[in-house]
């Protein structure tokens, strides 16, 4: 017999009712939930709460890496001042982080 034939043969095992398979599948889902899904949901809630608490004159960073100061806030758009008399209008969902908190973390290092 060649090696491929030996590898493709099913091992002789006693008949099982499939309960072990279900236990393994449920266990894998539980592990995925606690290591992937739950932390991602927590992160999304933190970002949503941050975006709801935006205020005028707050330093922020956009998802594209633009640092600026909030000058106006509307329903879904924010006007950022990125330099003297240079303002851009961006979507509120593209604001990523609080720049003042980031600068404090860098100063501590």
Are 36 and 65 found together in one domain? no
Indicate if 66 and 44 belong to the same structural domain.
no
**Domain annotation covers residue 11:** no
Do 73 and 96 belong together in one domain?
Answer: yes
Quote the pTM value.
0.61
pLDDT of residue 15: 54
pLDDT value of position 99: 75
In a domain, 37, yes or no: yes
Same domain, 97 and 80: yes
Mean residue pLDDT of the chain comes to 84
- The boundaries of the domain holding residue 41 are 19-53
The answer to the question of residue 91 being in a domain is yes
If DSSP states are collapsed to H, E and C, what string results for the chain?
CCHHHHHHCCCCCCCCCCHHHHHHHHHHHHHHHHHHHHHHHHHHHHHHHHHHCCCCCCEEEECCCCEEEEEEECCCEEEEEEECCEEEEEEHHHEEEEHHHHHHHHHHC
Domain membership of residue 1 (yes or no) is no
What's the pLDDT tens digit per position in 3-43? Answer: 667 666 656 555 567 788 889 999 999 999 999 999 999 99
Instruction: Answer yes or no: is 65 within a domain.
Output: yes
Regarding whether 94 and 73 lie in a shared domain, the answer is: yes
In a domain, 30, yes or no: yes
């Amino acid at each position: 017999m060649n090696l491929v034939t030996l590898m493709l043969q099913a091992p002789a095992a006693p008949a099982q009712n499939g309960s072990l398979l279900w236990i393994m599948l449920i266990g894998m889902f539980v592990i995925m939930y606690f290591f992937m899904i739950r932390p991602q949901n927590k992160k999304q809630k933190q970002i949503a709460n941050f975006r709801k608490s935006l205020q005028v004159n707050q330093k922020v960073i956009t998802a594209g890496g633009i640092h600026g100061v909030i000058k106006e806030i509307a329903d879904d758009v924010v006007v950022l001042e990125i330099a003297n008399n240079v303002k851009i209008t961006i979507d509120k969902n593209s604001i990523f982080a609080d720049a003042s908190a980031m600068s404090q973390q860098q100063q501590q290092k």
